[in-house]
Amino acid sequence: MALMLGLGLGIGVAQTAPLKRYSIGGKAPAVVADYSAGVYGLNGTPVAFDGLFSFARLSAVWKRNALGHWVKVLAGEPRTGHHIWQGGQLVPAGVAICSEVRTNLVRYSEALDVSEHWSLSNNAAVESAGELSGFPAFRLTDANTEGYAQINQTGVTHGDGEHVFQMLVAKDQSPTSQFSIRLVYSVAEVSTASGMTLNVDTGVVVNLWDSNILERNVEDRGDHWFVWFAVDLTGASNILIQLFPAHNNTSGEGGPENVGSHICTAVHLHPGRYPQDYIKTEGAAVSVAAESLQIDSGGLAKAVGVFGPELFSPDDTSDGSSAGGAVSVVGDTITCTNTTGTARATNDLTYEVGEKYLLEFTSSGQPMGVYHGGSLALGTLQDGKNSYLFVAQTDSNQIGFRNFSAGTTGVVSNVTLRKVTMPEELTFLIKGTMTYADEDSSTQVLFSRWLADSNNFIEIRLHTGLPSSTGDPFFLQSSLGAVSSKITNTSPYAPGTEVPFSLGFVLSATEIEGFYNGISTGTAAYGGMANLLSAPLQLFPVGNATIKDFRIWPEALLSADMLEATG
């Protein structure tokens, strides 16, 4: 990864906010990621998001902005600036990340007037009603001439297991205050209905249609309610979505008490136990790709690595060019001029086989190749700052630059090459919110994973696999297969949506200690740090979360400071 520092503000450029306030106990972190404020830093220097993190997602997706509106984010762009609702307030939450493919099974989630996919019965009416939380909204009306008016969608494709139905309903005055949503389906040829009725004025749930209901809630979102329920659709077929604009008369017959209309939008049905971030559909179910967020190995080496002495000297550069190529060295600048052949600048070095080395330099002019070991290419040079972390091989006795493009000139300068090793101590801090269900797993959520292989890793997990466990932070370190760990066993986190978490992990030279919500797990002895510098550090490789704060120190912070930092 080429670590490129920018200037200014935004995702692609560096932040200029001071980093000093992120210190704990007077210790400045090597990595700062304040996702909610958009501030990122590496070794005390402000950097851009993409100067520190690698992010991937193969499709467009949606995030909630500061107005509470769901806005589209293009493929490959992180969902920074995401907001969530907490305590009835819309708050900046950081970067949203989900490691799984997500799907909205409803067709036309924002267009309830599309008759091809939404049908009306019992004199129901649908008309445009402006916007609700940034979405196109529709007023559903019960004219009360026959029984309950209904707006329906049939032919919903789904799988077995738990599913969530969710939507927005306005706090709209109407002669009838009640609004109903339900799924109707068959299980073993028996018709079943699952859903609920709510009072749109108060948000109070009337418990109707309880078959297979797992959980349900009505959440206050200012001018509207966020309404959802979870149901087990195992073995279900012929699913019908039904919306009732008025539902006071329990007999199902017409009458004055059954006249009314309500505004709603953003209809969503997806696999899972809890609500998920919105996905817009237009005529068919839509899936969005999984997301990945990590710090690459080069960035980690720069942040926490212990560096040996400088190995590269421009004065030791030799010219290995073929006819038509030439190399010149002036100070710390190496120029490779290719007239008709190959320009090749080489330095003979002594490596320690199997050890890691960080090569950095500035490149300009024609892109060239950089190699070590005579023929093992590291990559193609890019204009600006270049960084390469590599493991020395048995034939790795050279470092060099070569220009294959005839009639061109390439320049490298400020070359530095140093051996880099893991620190003896580390401290991690991560905060945010997560959405998860209790699925009896020791890796229900992976907050962070720094993994070289199955025998060498540092992980912070959420454990739900024990009989009494619904959410136990689990801290692990493995070096050469020797695993040391601490777990809470008190289930401080309960399954649900946007569950706040605050975690710290300290690895000193001789012991590890975990922290959660201002509480310590106690310590466990271990035999030394795993060698992980050739591997990336992943954030939420398993899970659905919004990360607010992430920091790393190449030293062990004091327990008292970590208790306060996570409290």
Same domain, 164 and 270: yes
Domain presence at residue 82: no
User: pLDDT at position 9, please?
Assistant: 35
Neighbours of 217 (CB within 10 A): 18
Same domain, 558 and 488: yes
Same domain, 329 and 231: no
Angle at 215 (CA atoms; ends 209, 219), nearest 5 degrees: 100
Same domain, 258 and 164: yes
User: pLDDT at position 352, please?
Assistant: 87
Cβ atoms of 224 and 201 within 8 Å: the answer is no
Give strand pairing partners of 104.
286
Q: Which of 136, 9, 29, 135 is nearest to 80 (CA)?
A: 9
CATH number of the domain where residue 356 is located: 2.60.120.430
Domain count, the chain: 3
User: pLDDT at position 12, please?
Assistant: 45
CATH number of the domain where residue 469 is located: 2.60.120.200
Same domain, 557 and 447: yes
Same domain, 278 and 338: no
Same domain, 324 and 465: no
Q: Containing H/E element for 279?
A: none
Cβ atoms of 3 and 14 within 8 Å: the answer is no
- What spatial distance separates the first Cα and last Cα of the chain, rounded to whole Å? 35
pLDDT tens for the chain, 567 residues long, are 333 332 233 444 444 446 889 999 999 999 999 999 999 999 999 999 998 999 999 999 999 999 999 999 999 999 999 999 988 889 999 999 999 999 999 999 999 988 888 999 888 889 999 999 999 999 998 876 567 888 999 988 888 899 999 999 999 766 677 899 999 998 888 889 999 999 898 899 987 788 889 999 999 998 999 999 999 999 988 899 999 887 765 555 555 566 778 899 999 999 999 999 999 999 999 999 999 999 999 899 999 999 999 999 999 999 988 888 899 999 999 999 999 888 888 988 888 888 899 999 999 887 788 888 766 677 777 788 888 888 888 766 888 898 888 888 989 999 999 999 999 999 999 999 999 999 988 999 999 999 999 999 999 999 998 888 899 999 999 999 999 999 998 999 999 999 999 999 999 999 999 999 999 999 999 989 999 998 999 999 999 999 999 999 999 999 999 999 999
**Structural domain for 111, as ranges:** 104-288
User: pLDDT at position 322, please?
Assistant: 87
Q: Assign residue 528 a region: left if phi > 0, alpha if psi is -120 to 50, beta otherwise? A: left
Domain presence at residue 406: yes
